[in-house]
Structure 1
Amino acid sequence: MLKDVFMALSKNQLLTSAAKKYGLKLGAQTVVAGTNVEDTIKSIRELNAKGISATVDNLGEFVIERSEALKAKNSILEVIEAIHTNGVDAHISLKPTQIGLDIDYDFCYENLLEIVAAASKYDMHINIDMEDYGHLQPSFDLMDTLLKEYNNVGTVIQAYFDRAEDDIEKYKHLRLRIVKGAYKEPIEVAFQTKEEIDANFIKLIEYHLLNGKFTSIATHDHHIINHVKKFVAENEIPNDKFEFQMLYGFRKDMQIDLAKQGYNFCTYVPFGDDWYAYFMRRLAERPQNLNLVVKQVFNKRTNTAIGVLAGAIALNRLTSKKKK
């Protein structure tokens, strides 16, 4: 039930617009690294000082205006230059719908090509984030074309999809981030239960650790992390073949502890003002994430569920007052 609530909130345009305007008042800085490039670089430096690298996401998706897609592309190019100029340990994650996939495939490809080419000059990795099922194959098609010319590209495999096992086999030569999946997908294409998704998640992780190029294991679940630590030890998989990943603002102590233990660790660093839908989907993906950050974001004196809903109500009220 909570998952459905969070997914509905993530698609509420009124709340999303209000969050862009009032986010900092509601504590959005807890879940985003900054609203501009300068603040984001500062946040990355702080992570690097703790032995943690970063993958940077310029927040936004499902763009339907060319001007917005071009703005997003230019922002990503600015981040690439800033990462290089400041010498921080970071690379880029991006969503094809943010740079025009819902507008025109060729237009999106040209934007993506420009980004990948710019990053290639600095030997910087570009990770193509996967979105909902309707955008899955077109996103893979974009990557397949890019791989004919560039080798600094990787992608995401979502464990809840039935096709994930075939996809990870096809792309085992790439650097892959393996996740459970954050969108609400029908039973025809995706596993529905936590047990099925977790089992497939572990299966995919183990396969890529044994057969793949480099594995980014994206989870906040300490049970799965402990399973992976045991698996790599038993199979003598070197630390330079994988990393753990978590979201900025989630389980900070565990992030630092894993880095101190000698594991490669990368934090997914979102920046920008389009944070609300992103955050709601993180909660829909794993409602237990409520206990990790929501109390900090909305109200430390509320319980977690009330905190999220209170945030939505607060956004609604702020917007209503402004209209009067």
Structure 2
Amino acid sequence: MLLKNFFIGLSQNQLLNSLAQKYGFKLGAQSVVAGTNIEEMIESVKELNTYGISCTIDNLGEFVYEKEEATKAKKQILDVIEAIKVNNVDAHISLKPTQLGLDIDYDFCLSNLQEIVAKADSYDIFINFDMEDYGHLQPSFDLIDELSKEHDNIGTVIQAYFFRAEEDIQKYKDYRLRLVKGAYKESEAVAYQDKRVIDSNLVALIEYHLLNGKFTSIATHDHNIINHVKRFVAENNISKEKFEFQMLYGFRKELQHELAKEGYNFCTYVPFGTDWYGYFMRRLAERPQNLNLIAKQVFNKKTNTMIGIGVGAFLLGRLSKRNKK
């Protein structure tokens, strides 16, 4: 838990975020982010498609407080939808309501989302609503409820560490759902804190939705959970068309390819853009072992290693000074 809190703390540090945007790709951020623009991202998606892997695309950014920035994000996502259509790639969209104005005004955010969902629906492209911290949970579900009155190309995420997850998965069982452990720092009043309990709850949610739900996206790098799912679907005669495994771009590439070769539906979560730092730190907070999975990929050259050591020391030094104040 201490290590998780450390990475979450880093994810919220604005100094580190700005430095990461400036120096990140020199340090190898391209190993976990599929480019800084749509063109680079589409090339990454095309490569993944050659392995039989579909993609869900995240235009990085969240917790937006200015309408101009939210409108810019909306346009970018609309451009991504158009790029998916024009390039005929196997991909759909993941988005965060806070990037589109949820912290500014609910109706403004809803209007932005209506435009996005309608365009995607016209192209038969699925939209997944990423769930964020607990304070945004119910407003995000409210948005989904409202948009579902006119569109059926949307789904969302259930986070296993929340006490309310069982209730939510039952309510939204007729939706395509991505099931995850959860990656934000949450109060013990609303979320489980013990990793073993969270893992157990995730497995229970997966089993429930596989048996009762529409379509299940199992988002984990944990091979123990993956192997459990393989056994469970075989024992219960669940069709491979009812679910997919999901992992993050740049993580456990060999396992991603292996699962696709075995005939399982597989989807890679593909983030792109410059605002990658908070996203990446939360992935490490969610599962610190992820750091080991990408270390060799990020620091694969002598020069990058030296830059990494120098900048890392500087960043940690600054962080330490700030904490002492």
TM-score by length of 1: 0.94
Q: Which runs of 5+ in 2 are unaligned?
A: 319-325
Q: Is the 8 A contact 2:12 2:278 kept in 1?
A: yes
**Which structure 1 residue ranges, 5 or more long, are not aligned?**
319-324
Q: Paired residue for 1:152?
A: 153
Assess, with a 3 A threshold, how the Cα gap between structure 1 residues 196 and 310 changes in structure 2: closer, same or farther: farther
Tell whether 2:187 aligns with 1:176. no
Q: What SS does the corresponding residue of 1:154 show, helix, strand or coil?
A: strand
Take 1:27 and 1:106, find their aligned partners in 2: how far apart are those partners?
Answer: 39
Q: Whole-Å Cα distance in 1 between the matches of residues 311 and 251 of structure 2?
A: 18
Structure 2 matches for 1:287-298, cutoff 5 A?
Answer: 287-298=288-299
How do residues 43-82 of structure 1 correspond to structure 2 at under 5 angstroms?
43-82=44-83
Structure 2 counterpart SS, 1:79: helix
Aligned match of 2:36: 35
Q: Could you tell me the percent identity over the aligned residues?
A: 71
Tell me how far 1:246 sits from its aligned partner: 0.1
**AA matched with 1:241:** K
Deviation at 1:297, TM superposition (A): 2.2
Cα 1:316/1:37, change in 2 over 3 Å: farther
Residue in 2 that maps onto 1:247: 248
The residue type equivalent to 2:84 in the other structure is I
Deviation at 1:294, TM superposition (A): 3.0
* Residue in structure 2 matched with residue 321 of structure 1 by the alignment: none
Q: Aligned ranges for residues 232-311 of structure 1 at < 5 Å?
A: 232-298=233-299
Q: 2:27, 2:308 within 8 Å by CA — same for their partners in 1?
A: no
Counterpart CA distance in 2 for 1:153 and 1:61 is 19
Partner Cα distance (2:225, 2:311) in 1: 31
Please report how far the alpha carbon of residue 298 of structure 1 lies from its aligned counterpart in structure 2 after TM superposition.
4.4
The one-character-per-residue Cα deviations of 1:132-161 (angstroms, maximum 9, x if unpaired) are: 000000000000000000000000000000
Find the residue that maps to 1:55 and give its secondary structure: strand
**Aligned mates of 1:169, 1:149 — CA distance in 2:** 21
Q: List, as ranges, runs of 4+ consecutive aligned residues in structure 1 with deviation greater than 4 Å.
A: 298-301, 307-312, 314-318
**Is the 2:155–2:177 Cα contact (8 Å) retained in structure 1?**
yes
Task: Give deviations 1:97-130, integer Å, cap 9, x for gaps.
Answer: 0010011111100001100001001110000000
Distance in 2 between residues matched to 1:317 and 1:115, nearest whole Å: 42
Correspondence for 2:323:
none
Deviation at 1:315, TM superposition (A): 5.7
Cα deviation, residue 21, structure 1: 1.7
Partners of 1:285 and 1:212 in 2: CA distance: 25
Residues 219-264 of structure 1 show CA distances to partners (whole Å, capped at 9, x for unaligned) of 0000000000000000000000000000000000000000000000
- Contact 2:11-2:17 within 8 A present in 1 as well: yes
Summarize deviations over 1:55-114 as a string: whole Å, max 9, x none: 000001001111111111110000000000000000000000001001111110000110
Aligned to 1:228: 229
Over 3 Å counting, the alpha-carbon distance change for 1:298 and 1:15 in structure 2 is: farther
Shift of 1:24: 1.1
Shift of 1:274: 0.5
Q: Which amino acid aligns with 1:172?
A: K
Contact kept? 2:65, 2:101, Cα under 8 Å: yes
- 1:77-92 equivalent positions in 2, closer than 5 A: 77-92=78-93
C-alpha spacing 1:89/1:163, structure 2 compared with 1 (3 Å): same
Residue equivalent to 2:165? 164
Distance 1:4 1:85, change over 3 A: same
